Structure 1
């Protein structure tokens, strides 16, 4: 596999991981006991940390991409292994 393909796969996996991790660990002003700004949505986060999110997404994406590339090279699981519509033997 070419390195450009690995980078593209990593970036796709990183974006998916970041979106999946967005709601975890975020608390609202009501949950933290902080005062709200007038007109603020009730669900607005009070402790959003984008750098922490990016770091966690980078770690998870690196691990998942490494597993994907190793599976591609060694062929542990192939498309025929996950065929759900095989006729019963």
Structure 2
């Protein structure tokens, strides 16, 4: 794992996007499910009424920070490393 600030930020950035795609479907109601509440005429019935992106971005940041902190602690403690992963997958180093 890269120990530079830029490397750690890059890993966090990738993790953040993965967690964002996991959290996107939660809490979204379509126009068909809302039965006219806030529905715009002429839109697709499957389109979301409200995406709640600000709340999802906050949750994504919090979840990503927790996962990143646990992974970084595991790496720095020696529980997670290339040698261990290679041995687990029976790959030569």
The CA deviation at 1:44 is: 0.3
Aligned ranges for residues 8-87 of structure 1 at < 5 Å?
8-34=10-36, 35-38=39-42, 40-77=43-80, 78-80=84-86, 82-83=88-89
The TM-score normalised by the length of structure 2 is 0.78
- The 2-side partners of 1:49 and 1:75 are apart by 39
The TM-score normalised by the length of structure 1 is 0.81
Gaps of 5+ in 2: none
The CA deviation at 1:2 is: 1.7
Paired residues in the alignment total 84
Q: What is the RMSD of the two structures over their aligned residues, measured on CA atoms?
A: 1.8
Gaps of 5+ in 1: none
The answer on 1:2 being equivalent to 2:4 is yes
The CA deviation at 1:80 is: 4.1
Higher relative contact order structure (alpha carbons within 8 Å, sequence separation ≥ 6): 1
Three-state SS of the structure 1 residue aligned to 2:79 is coil
